Amino acid sequence: MANDRLADLRVRFSASAATLSLLLSGLAPDDWSRVCTAEGWPVALEGLHVALGYRRQRGFLEDAFVRGRPARFDWDETHELNALIAGRRRPNAHFVMRFLEDEAAKTRQRLEQFATADLERPTIDYEGRTLTLDQFIRGFLIGHVDGHTRSIRAALGR
């Protein structure tokens, strides 16, 4: 049963990443500059943010599984990073798509390295709670992508 849970989480992550990529790959050039109201960012920055999120989230996994201690999530640090992203000029669509695909693939590869027993390991300290790998994959990986996909859909009126 637990093996099925790990496999399910991998499939769900891949499906989330694929849904976002498919949505973005079909955009017209003007669509990339539509503003996502929840974040106040154009779609291009929203996609860049997700790709950078994949990279940062793999860093959290490194803290927990290579360095041996749960990563520490800090909202102030996150807001600072997001402000840096928002301050950039709009990246071009080709770059965003390539970066998003590359970072999603690296994250999928990292998820393949986990064993069933890892699902219950402490992975990240978040708002006074320590989340397991299972919770991290559901919230930080899948939840992050799905949330931004909804925001982009809303900006596009879809």
Rounded to two decimals, what is the model's pTM? 0.92
Full pLDDT tens readout for the chain, 158 residues: 556 999 999 999 999 999 999 999 999 999 999 999 999 999 999 999 999 999 999 999 999 999 889 999 998 998 898 888 888 777 899 999 999 999 999 999 999 999 999 999 999 999 999 999 999 999 999 999 999 999 999 999 99
Name the nearest CA neighbour of 110 among 59, 51, 49.
59
Q: Which two tokens stand for residue 30?
A: 């003007």
Question: How many other CB atoms sit within 10 Å of the CB of residue 138?
Answer: 15
**Domains contained in the chain, CATH given:** 31-156 (1.20.120.450)
Q: Which two tokens stand for residue 130?
A: 């320590």
d(CA 124, CA 9): 17
d(CA 138, CA 115): 16
